Chains A and B, each alone.
Chain A
Amino acid sequence: MKRFLFIIPLFLLSLLLYTIEPSRNSSQTIKNDFESQNSYVGNKNRNISTGYKIYVDFNPDKKLLTVEEKIIWKNLTEYSTDEIQFHLYANAFSNNETELGKKFGFDESERTKILIHSLAVNGIVSQFEYFQPEVYNPHDSTVARINLDKPVLPGDSVLIDIEYELIIPRGRLRFGYAAGREFYFIAQWFPKLGVFKDGHWICSQYHPYTEFYSDFANYDVIINLPTDYIVGSTGQLINVVISDSIKSWTYSAKNVIDFAWTASPEFYVQTKKYKSNFGKDIEVNFLIQPENKNLIDRKFKAAFNTVEYLEKYIGEFPYSQITLVDAPRTANIGGMEYPTIITYFTPLFSPIETQRPESTIIHEIVHQYFYAAVSSNEVYEAWLDEGLATYLEAKILSEYYGNPILYFRFIDYYPIYGISFLSFREIPLIYSLKAFEFEHSSYALSSYYLNNEIGSIRDTSYALPNRLSYLVNAYSKPYLIVQVLENYLGKDEILEIISEYYNKYKFSLVTADDFLNVLKNYENLDLEWFIANFINGSKKFDYKISSIAKEESTYKIFVERLEGGIAPTEIAVYSEVDTTYIEWDGTDRWKIFNIESEHKIIAAEVDPFRKNILDINYANNSYTVEPKYWASLSIAIRWFFWVQNSLLIFGSVG
Chain B
Amino acid sequence: MWATNLKVVGIVLGTLALYTLIANKIPQVQSEVPQTLTLGANVTPEQLVAAGEKVFNGIGGCTTCHGLGTRAPNLLTDEKGTGPIGARCGKREPAKSCKQYLYESLDNPTAFVVPGYQPIMPVMTKQLSPPQVWSVIAFLESEGGTVDVTASDIPATPSTSTTSPTGSGGGGGGAGSGGFAGGSTDPKAIIAAAGCLACHKLDGQGQVIAPDLTHVGSRRDAESIRKKILDPASSIAKGYEKLAGIMPKTFGTMMNAAQLEALAQYLAAHK
Do the two chains bind? no
Interface residues of A (CB under 8 A from B): none
The residues of B with any CB-CB pair to A shorter than 8 Å are none
